[in-house]
């Protein structure tokens, strides 16, 4: 068996664990200690506060740069003029690390979506691999309404997931019972429009063609949907590339 194929069959969490095991461990430690990961003090910050703040600034700047670039990719007035978008960096278990400016309420909604995928064992099927693109706008999974469309992409380092990049925009039209991004005539969720329930919409940083066609046939003016999609993907790729440089400088363990 080729070496790459052999590695991909292994668990993608840290130290040979699955992501679901990591999430379970994280929750148990929090319940036992009342502290995230059981941490009582920020040792790295106390040891070298300037280095710690420099890393945080790099991560924060990475997310803000992703958002500012995405603003100029999308032609949607809601995104470009009102700034209805946000980017955030998450731990492998889906906990937020740093976020950009923008609609910051979605820091938690995207966290819930990542954890939902982990809880539903996406690592086994449909699998979580480098370059995968997951889409979500399901309010029952972790969103506000169907007009807020999320793009979630895993970050790999040496065949392990070291985090996620989440991006969200408020789209112009979501295919609801009436036009626009806020359907008001619907009396139940079946009139809310096109639903993406943490769906794998792309692989190798490429959107599936059947997914694009489904969007074309379910949205009144799909050009804005597609432009927002390109904006979220562009920003996500900027974050992925920037993070590689940060890891080269600080080391993945730090």
Q: What is the pLDDT of residue 60?
A: 96
What pLDDT is attached to residue 77? 86
Q: Is residue 229 part of a domain?
A: yes
Residue 128 pLDDT: 98
pLDDT band at 4 (very low <50, low <70, confident <90, very high): very low
Whether 104 is covered by a domain: the verdict is yes
| Residue 179: inside a domain | yes
pLDDT (tens digit per residue) in 29-88: 999 999 999 999 999 999 999 999 999 999 999 999 999 999 888 878 888 888 889 999
Which residues span the domain enclosing 170? 44-250
Does some domain include residue 78?
yes
User: Tokens 């209805």 label which residue?
Assistant: 84
| CA 56/CA 11 separation, integer angstroms | 29
DSSP label of 107? H
Residue 125 domain-assigned? yes
Enter the pTM of the model: 0.92
Instruction: Tell me whether residue 117 is in a domain.
Output: yes
Which pLDDT band, with edges at 50, 70 and 90, does 247 fall under? very high
- Residue 82 to residues 71, 79, 102, 171, 207, Cα–Cα distance (Å): 10, 6, 9, 12, 26
Report the number of distinct structural domains present in the chain: 1
CA distances from 118 to 112, 127, 154 (A): 10, 10, 12
Residue 2 inside a domain? The answer is no
The average pLDDT across 20-33 equals 97
pLDDT in tens, 209-233: 999 999 999 999 899 999 999 999 9
Distance CA 40, CA 202 (A): 40
**pLDDT (0 to 100) of residue 43:** 94
Within-domain flag for 187: yes
């Amino acid at each position: 068996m080729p070496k790459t194929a052999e590695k991909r069959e292994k668990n993608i969490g840290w130290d040979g664990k699955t992501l679901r095991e990591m999430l379970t461990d994280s929750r148990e430690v929090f319940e036992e200690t009342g502290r995230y990961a059981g941490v009582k003090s920020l040792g790295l910050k106390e040891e070298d506060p300037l280095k710690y703040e420099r890393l945080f600034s790099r991560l924060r700047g990475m997310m803000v740069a992703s958002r500012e670039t995405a603003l100029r990719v999308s032609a949607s007035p809601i995104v470009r003029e009102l700034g209805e978008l946000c980017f955030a960096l998450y731990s492998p278990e889906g906990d937020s690390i740093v976020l950009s400016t923008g609609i910051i309420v979605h820091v938690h909604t995207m966290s819930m979506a990542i954890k939902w995928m982990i809880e539903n064992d996406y690592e086994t099927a449909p699998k979580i691999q480098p370059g995968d693109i997951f889409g979500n706008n399901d309010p029952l999974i972790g969103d506000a309404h169907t007009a807020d469309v999320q793009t979630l992409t895993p970050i790999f380092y040496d065949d392990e997931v070291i985090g996620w990049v989440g991006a969200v925009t408020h789209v112009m039209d979501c295919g609801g019972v009436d036009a626009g991004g806020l359907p008001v005539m619907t009396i139940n969720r079946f009139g809310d429009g096109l639903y993406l329930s943490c769906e794998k919409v792309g692989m190798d940083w490429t959107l599936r063609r059947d997914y694009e066609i489904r969007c074309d046939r379910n949205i009144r003016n799909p050009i804005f949907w597609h432009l927002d999609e390109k904006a979220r993907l562009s920003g996500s790729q900027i974050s992925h590339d920037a993070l590689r440089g940060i890891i080269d400088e600080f080391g993945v363990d730090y």
